[in-house]
Structure 1
Amino acid sequence: MARLERLTVYPVKGLDGIDVETTSILDGGTLKHDREFALFDDDGDVINGKRTDRVHDLATDYSPESRTLRVETPDGDAHRFDLDADRTRAAEWFGDFFDTELALRRDASLGFVDRREMGPSIISTATLETVASWFDSMTVEGARRRLRANVEVSGVPAFWEDRFVGEGAPGFEVGGVRIEGVTPCGRCVVPERDPDTGDSIPEFRERFVERREATFPEWADPDAFDHLFTLMIIARVPEHDRGETLRVGDDVSWQPSSG
């Protein structure tokens, strides 16, 4: 039976995610605490893995209850920041680490997601298992951390999520909350890097596209894909279901398009 296997949010954009048992859908259609904070330089550009591989040198954890961020460097230097009271001090510390002046900003209404008109990212457990099998050095947990999806669904085949994008694609429900696919997620440089070391897999993109072509599912609409360096989908939660809660263990069922 299809079920919601895992919920992951990324409290500070570009840094580690945290697994949660429940999360609410914000009025803007994103998940609570997802990309709630982000580091910006003086030009208004964000610090993330696409910009610098130094993000992989940091291990972070976050408590939504206390809004405390723990950061540890490879040499074991650890710091805790209250992101209500210590945001300026945290920004100064990150500025020193990334060698640029930074501001740590908060958007609790939508988060600093890349596609601000859309919602959570969706992937299946079987997709992660399959992609991990393509590369000798990759584990399933490593694939999970490289691809950084919000919603993971088990009990379905690999690339199940691809069926929900394209003209006339159906939606699905998670515990009664409707989710509609919007677009496949084109990938950047981040998935090729080891999430702990930042080391890249040689010829990652070429191998990935080759295997994606070989395993492209019959239920997917090829016209929905501009290219095959894509994995997971970006979805939308209709306005009438915003404010609802997603829970790990919720049943997942297919629903027709809202047309």
Structure 2
Amino acid sequence: MARIADLVAYPLKSNDGAVVDRAEIGPKGALRGDRTYALVEAGVDPHAASVGGNGGYVNGKSEPAVHALRAEYDRSGPTDATPTAVTLSRPARPETGADADERTFALPADGDALEAWVGEYLGYAVDLVREPDGGLPDDRAAPGPTVVSRATLETVASWFDEVADATEMRRRLRPNVVLDDCPAFWEDRLFADHGEAVRLSVGRTALLGVNPCQRCVVPSRHPDTGAEIDDFRETFIRKRRETLPDWLDSDRFDHEFRLMVNTAVPESEWGASLSVGDRVTVEETVDIAESGRHGATATGGDR
């Protein structure tokens, strides 16, 4: 039986995560505080913008310089990762004339100052946007906690000489939930065909596995420097094909550049919590339209 080994929220989208021991599930099913804030190009509506590269979000897909920003958070509480302040540090960036610097910004009060500081570093104006109810995940139809096993992280890290270990691969893939006591690619059990979801129990909380997450350029880049691994996608696809579980049979798995599982959370479970050590049990495949209020289609991405 699998169990939760790590829980990670990402209070500022596309920036460093915050490791927690217990997390409440907020409105719409995301971990409370996960992707509450995001940076977008000035004037962009975050709800209308594409989450892919060049879609208006200032993320690793569109802006490699964000990898060099470091973030630490003051959080609202032990089960709520909503940041009350963020300390950001940046390296010098000669191309924009920005000096190396570190600042602490109260949130949301110092939002304008944070925008100016990040904009100076990037060389263009940005807005700090906030969505306290459900956050700003890439997968707007399945915005629940993303799930992967530690054995998967270890295996995928071994495919690339440039990746130090499972922890670095976790930082590249950016899951919310890392599982232990299960083999590599165990999480591929947590999705079925289009129109279906896999119900699982995590402690006393029910989640719905919806789809395997479609990856983008972000995992190919070092999480601190942005340095890119040559032929990452080609190697990943080849190795994923070689290690694909024999029992995997889902029309959602339409190509091999997918890893990690996006989930939805029935509305009845909002306000429940997940904790490190919770046991994870796969229950049954259900009709997604009858399994609680949530979206039925999913886009994927690196969130």
TM-score by length of 2: 0.82
Q: Offset of 1:211 from its aligned partner?
A: 0.4
Q: In structure 1, give the amino acid aligned to 2:147.
A: I
Identify the match of residue 84 of structure 2 among 67, 73, 87.
67
> Structure 1 unaligned runs (5+)?
none
**Of residues 196, 217, 229 in structure 1, which corresponds to 2:257?**
229
Question: What is the rounded CA distance, in whole Å, between the counterparts of 2:198 and 2:10 in structure 1?
Answer: 27
- Matches of 2:141 and 2:253 in 1, distance apart? 19
Alignment identity in percent?
A: 42
How many residue pairs match? The answer is 259
State the shift of 1:2 in Å. 1.7
Contact in 2 for aligned 1:87/1:104 (Cα 8 Å): yes
Q: Kindly provide the CA deviation profile for residues 53-77 of structure 1, in whole angstroms up to 9, marking residues without a partner as x.
A: 0011111111213611011113552
Partner of 2:15: 15
Q: Distance in 2 between matches of 1:193 and 1:5?
A: 25
Distance 1:89 1:77 in 2: 14
266, 270, 278: which one aligns with 1:250: 278
Q: Which amino acid aligns with 1:59?
A: R
* Higher deviation after alignment, 128-137 or 65-74: 65-74
Displacement after TM superposition at 1:43 (Å)? 4.4
User: What residue ranges of structure 2 are gaps of 5+ in the alignment?
Assistant: 45-55, 77-82, 93-99, 288-303
TM-fit CA distance, 1:197: 1.2
Write the letter of the residue equivalent to 1:121. T
d(CA) in 2 for partners of 1:186, 1:212: 13
The whole-number CA distance in structure 1 between the counterparts of 2:198 and 2:127 is: 41
**Separation (CA, whole Å) in 2 of partners of 1:245 and 1:233:** 19
Residue 128 of structure 1 is matched in structure 2 by 153
CA distance in 2 between counterparts of 1:200 and 1:158 reads: 25
Instruction: Report how far residue 224 of structure 1 moved.
Output: 2.1
Contact 1:110 1:116 in 2 (8 A): no
Residue 25 of structure 1 contacts residue 32 of structure 1 at CA under 8 Å; is this kept in 2? yes
Q: Superposition RMSD on alpha carbons, in Å?
A: 1.5
- Which structure 2 residues correspond to residues 40-119 of structure 1 after superposition, within 5 A? 40-44=40-44, 45-65=56-76, 67-74=84-91, 77-118=101-142, 119=144
| Structure 1 residue ranges, 4+ long, deviating more than 6 angstroms after superposition | none
**CA deviation vs aligned residue, 1:9-35 (integer Å, no higher than 9, x gap):** 111111111111111111211111111
* CA distance in structure 2 between the aligned counterparts of 1:176 and 1:81, rounded to whole angstroms: 37
* C-alpha displacement of 1:46: 1.4
Match of 1:164 among 190, 206, 229: 190
Separation in structure 2 between the aligned mates of residue 58 and residue 6 of structure 1, nearest angstrom: 23
Aligned to 2:33: 33
CA distance in 2, matches of 1:127, 1:93: 37
Residues 165 and 221, structure 1, Cα contact 8 Å, conserved in 2:
no
